[in-house]
């Protein structure tokens, strides 16, 4: 089967042309939202909130921070690949009544 036929058989969200279209729409909505902030009066609580695109860059920095925190936390919470292996004898009580 050709690549084009396979691409047409996929769901609409998995097709390459639709993914690109969704990204363009998403970025356009973000740009419009940031520009709309210039024309809307915001009731700020702190002085920094009045800066251009504050909520956009604050949200981005917060998202990056959460991803970095999750990666660091994953280092400490990581388990061996065979941690839940049922064939291992680790921790099993052989004297227990079945």
pLDDT in tens, 51-72: 888 989 999 999 999 999 999 9
52 closest CA partner among 34, 30, 64, 39: 34
Give the pLDDT score at 89: 57
- Mean residue pLDDT across the chain: 83
pLDDT for 3 equals 64
pLDDT at 22 over 80: yes
| Structure tokens that stand for 28 in this block | 């356009």
Closest to 61 in 3D by CA, of 53, 39, 31 = 53
pLDDT of 26 reads 93
Q: Would you say how long the chain is, in residues?
A: 98
Identify which of 35-49, 54-68, 77-91 has the greatest average pLDDT: 54-68
């Amino acid at each position: 089967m050709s690549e084009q036929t396979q691409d047409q058989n996929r769901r609409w969200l998995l097709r390459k042309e639709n993914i690109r279209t969704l990204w363009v729409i998403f970025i356009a909505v973000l740009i419009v939202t940031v520009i709309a902030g210039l024309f809307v009066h915001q009731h700020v609580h702190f002085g920094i909130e009045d800066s251009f695109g504050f909520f956009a860059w604050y949200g981005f920095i917060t998202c990056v921070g959460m991803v970095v925190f999750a990666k660091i936390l994953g280092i400490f919470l990581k388990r061996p690949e065979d941690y839940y292996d049922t064939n291992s004898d680790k921790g099993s009580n052989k004297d227990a009544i079945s």
